[in-house]
Amino acid sequence: LEPVYETVRRLRARLPDETTLIGFCGAPWTVATYMIAGHGTPDQSPARLFAYREPAAFLRLLKVLADHSAAYL
């Protein structure tokens, strides 16, 4: 995540002190749907199918994403 941190540092340095910089992190489900399909899908069917066929692997993926998202935020 170093490129993200570097971007935040650069933005913060250029913004006036009275300007708030807020961050955003996609929810684990949302990030997982993009990872599994490789792009956004209208109904997230690739992710839903993966969750149905491989529930343990899907839960592990969600946990990894949640843990890393929490560390990022």
Question: Could you read off the pLDDT of 26-59 as tens digits, one per residue?
Answer: 999 999 999 999 999 999 999 999 999 999 999 9
What is the pLDDT, as a whole number, of residue 72? 82
- pTM of the complete model: 0.75
Say how far apart CA 57 and CA 17 lie, in whole Å: 44
> Where is 54: in which H helix or E strand?
none
- Spell out the residues 6+ positions from residue 32 whose beta carbon is closer than 8 angstroms to its own: 47, 58, 61, 62, 65
Please tell me what DSSP assigns to residue 15: S
Confidence of residue 7 (pLDDT cuts 50, 70, 90): very high
For residues 21 and 8, the answer to whether their CB atoms sit within 8 Å is yes
Q: Are 8 and 23 in contact (CB under 8 A)?
A: yes
